[in-house]
Amino acid sequence: MTAFLPFPEGTTRAVFIKREKRFRVLVEFPGGERFWVHTNNSGAMLGLLRPGRKVLLSPARRPGRTLPWTLEAMETDGGWCCVNTLAPNRMLAVAWEAGALPELAGATAMKREAKTGESRLDARFEGDGGEVWVEAKNCTLQVAGEALFPDAMSARGRKHLEELMRLKRETGARVATFYLVSIPGACCLAPAWPVDAEYAEAFERALDAGVEAWPYRAEVDEAGVRLAERLPVAGR
């Protein structure tokens, strides 16, 4: 089975000029008009923010929004990289519905934004095999063939790992992090020690504590994002 997440209708090309204040990106449309567009990606997007590179933009769903376009993907060496941070959560649901995730075989229901303790995780799956709690992450950094996460300091990401470990320890439920690796050329996933050593240390502790890591390569083109093969975790 395959899973495909299409970009919204009306998605179009532009050219990246610069980024400002984390959530604003200046682009140039064919014909020379320049517009500020929204990005929901608060990460550093290391290696992607190169002036002159092509970008894919989707029209805002809400009429009258101050920034009428949303950044979906950026051109990079070897293809496109999806930078919309909502894509991993959406792909998790689409892939489960398509039967494309063997890790969720037997799951019959999905609860989004599932509350646990003082946190919310992206999904809780239920079925004959019990609960599976999953947090979804977007991986857009690649160095020497390794997909690295995160690409900026991520206290929130570390908190999610701690919550997954707590759930595993206190309830025995299956817990996992789903990494959508949308940067071309990656052959495995590794924690980004040079970027956020605290997250990387928590990642290693989480794996040792029974938290599963599901890194999946994504194939991105101008139509959308398609789930490809699962990647190994470096050193595991």
Q: Are 16 and 24 a contacting pair, CB within 8 Å?
A: no
Token pair listed for 138: 């977007």
Q: Are 91 and 227 a contacting pair, CB within 8 Å?
A: yes
Residue 167: CB partners within 8 Å, gap ≥ 6? 116, 133, 173, 175
What parts of the chain have a pLDDT lower than 50? none
pLDDT value, residue 1: 67
pLDDT value, residue 119: 80
Secondary structure letter of residue 51 according to DSSP:
T
Token pair listed for 175: 């817990």
pLDDT value, residue 117: 77
pLDDT value, residue 78: 85
Token pair listed for 52: 């002159």
Beta-sheet pairing, 212-220 with 174-181: parallel
pLDDT value, residue 115: 87
Identify the CATH number of the domain defined by range 4-79.
2.40.50.580
Mean pLDDT, rounded, of the chain: 95
Question: What are the helix (H) ranges across the chain?
Answer: 87-98, 155-171, 197-208
pLDDT digits (tens, 9 = 90+) for 137-182: 999 999 999 999 999 999 999 999 999 999 999 999 999 999 999 9
Identify the CATH number of the domain defined by range 87-230.
3.40.1350.60
Domains 4-79 and 87-230 share a fold: no
pLDDT value, residue 21: 85
Domain extent listing, the chain? 4-79, 87-230
